[in-house]
Amino acid sequence: MAQHKSAEKHRRQSLRRRATNKRNKSILRRQIKKLRAAIEKKDKKEALELLPETFSLIDRTAKKGAIHKNTASRYKSRLNRQVASIPSK
- pLDDT in the model for residue 40: 96
- pLDDT in the model for residue 75: 98
Closest CA to 60 of 31, 28, 20, 18: 28
Give residue 45's identity as a one-letter amino acid code.
K
pLDDT tens digits for range 7-59:
999 999 999 999 999 999 999 999 999 999 999 999 999 999 999 999 999 99
CA angle centred on 63, ends 35 and 68, rounded to 5°: 75
CB-based contacts of 10: which residues, under 8 Å, 6+ apart?
A: 2
- pLDDT in the model for residue 1: 75
Cβ pair 58, 28 in contact under 8 A: yes
- pLDDT in the model for residue 89: 72
pLDDT tens digits for range 62-84:
999 999 999 999 999 999 999 99
